[in-house]
């Protein structure tokens, strides 16, 4: 296809899309006239973007693919996509397949400014971790690492770094992840980074606590093991509860931490504190997915625990 024919098709496409008002990608050319080309960016290689454009002749809906030299493009404004945004916003084990499809679509655009590739990749990797499958965790580690290395946006790379640390823990590299998280916690003043670093440390402390109990089922009778048990128990709680206690406006992080604390309390046999933390979660962060988990937990409690209300009892004692 000659350059002249390519430009002709692009000119036709610009007109056709303008008439249909379809949501499309916009390529801003770096020529003196500031030309814009519209279509659907469907591919990329080392030298060109592949653009799908409609034809003004032929059957209805007919399109052609043209190659636009990357050197001629100053930037791309990618079309918004509400369905994709919703998918990215709430990654879960059930959305792995859908997010994998999106990642396959966007991975070649990871380094292209303004593309959603980094956000898609981070959501996909988070969904993989949510499956609690070691094989999926290994894939997540690779995806997070790619974004951290090649992603165009600082925010995406930072999110990927935090995700990579979680994936390292899930793939058995907890010690290295903890060391990195400790450095993050010491060096960063960014609340978001601090929250994630402390969450990673909380997960590591809780994992160590469960392993300690598994290896020492009679830990309560062992004077050498019990102090370490208590240290890990309190450390996990302190770290999980940090956003709730100090950064309560960070809704998702605070709710996630409260739910983590509920798990620690339950593991330690402190049902009263678990119940109170779950109730706080449902009251304060009702719109989060963790509140739904807390609601399900509270609904399945034995009747005697449902009747407990430590806060009310404490108030009555004061009176």
pLDDT for res 196: 83
- pLDDT per residue, tens digit, the chain (319 aa), is 444 434 444 444 444 444 444 679 999 999 998 899 999 999 999 999 999 988 877 677 788 899 999 999 999 999 999 999 999 998 999 999 999 999 999 999 999 999 999 999 999 999 999 998 999 999 999 999 999 999 999 999 989 998 998 899 888 887 888 888 888 778 777 777 788 888 988 988 998 999 999 999 999 999 999 999 999 999 999 999 999 999 888 999 999 999 999 999 999 999 999 999 999 999 999 999 899 999 999 999 988 887 777 555 555 555 5
Nearest CA-CA partner of 185 in 174, 175, 172, 198: 198
* Whole-prediction pTM: 0.70
Q: What spatial distance separates the first Cα and last Cα of the chain, rounded to whole Å?
A: 87
Q: Rounded to an integer, what distance in angstroms lies between the CA atom of residue 55 and that of residue 138? A: 44
- Range 3-77 has CATH code 2.30.30: yes
What strand order describes the sheet that includes 36-44?
63-69, 48-54, 36-44, 25-29, 73-77
Q: Helices 154-170 & 117-130, crossing angle to 10 degrees?
A: 20
pLDDT, residue 141, reads 96
CA 78/CA 41 separation, integer angstroms = 8
Burial class, 105, CB count within 10 angstroms (exposed 0-12 / middle 13-18 / buried 19+): middle
pLDDT recorded at residue 223: 94
Measure the CA dihedral 283/286/288/292, to 10°. 90
CA pair distance 97, 127, nearest whole angstrom? 9
- Distance (Å, whole) CA 73 – CA 105: 21
- The domains of the chain are located at 3-77, 80-172, 189-311
Q: Cα–Cα distance between 242 and 239 in angstroms, integer?
A: 5
Tell the CATH topology of 189-311: 1.25.40
Report the pLDDT value the prediction gives residue 8, as an integer from 0 to 100.
Answer: 41
Would the CATH topology of 3-77 be identical to that of 189-311?
A: no
């Amino acid at each position: 296809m000659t350059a002249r024919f390519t430009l002709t098709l692009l000119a036709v496409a610009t007109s056709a899309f303008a008439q249909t008002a379809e949501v499309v990608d916009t390529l801003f050319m770096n020529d003196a006239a500031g030309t814009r080309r519209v279509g659907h960016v469907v591919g990329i290689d080392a030298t060109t973007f592949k653009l799908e454009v409609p034809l003004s002749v032929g059957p209805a809906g007919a399109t052609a693919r043209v190659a636009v030299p990357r050197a001629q493009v100053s930037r791309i404004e990618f079309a918004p996509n509400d369905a994709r945004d919703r998918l990215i916003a709430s990654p879960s084990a059930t959305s792995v397949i859908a997010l994998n499809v999106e990642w396959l679509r966007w991975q070649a655009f990871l380094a292209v400014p303004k593309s959603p590739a980094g956000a898609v990749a981070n959501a996909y990797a988070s969904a993989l971790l949510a499956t609690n499958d070691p094989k999926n965790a290994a894939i997540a580690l690779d995806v997070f690492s790619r974004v951290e290395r090649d992603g165009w946006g600082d925010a995406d790379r930072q999110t990927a770094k935090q995700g990579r640390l979680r994936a390292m823990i899930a793939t058995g590299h907890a010690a290295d992840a903890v060391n990195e998280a400790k450095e993050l916690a010491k060096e960063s003043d960014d609340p978001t980074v601090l929250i994630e670093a402390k969450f990673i440390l909380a997960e590591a402390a809780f994992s160590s606590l469960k392993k300690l109990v598994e290896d020492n089922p009679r830990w309560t009778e062992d004077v050498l093991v019990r102090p370490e048990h208590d240290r890990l128990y309190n450390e996990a709680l302190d770290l999980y509860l940090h956003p709730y206690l100090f950064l309560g406006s960070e809704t998702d992080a605070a709710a996630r931490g409260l739910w983590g604390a509920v798990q620690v309390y339950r593991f330690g046999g402190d049902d009263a504190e678990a119940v109170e933390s779950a109730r706080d979660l449902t009251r304060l962060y009702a719109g989060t997915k963790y509140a739904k988990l807390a609601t399900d937990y509270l609904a399945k409690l034995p009747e005697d625990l449902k009747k407990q209300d430590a806060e009310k009892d404490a108030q009555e004692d004061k009176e």
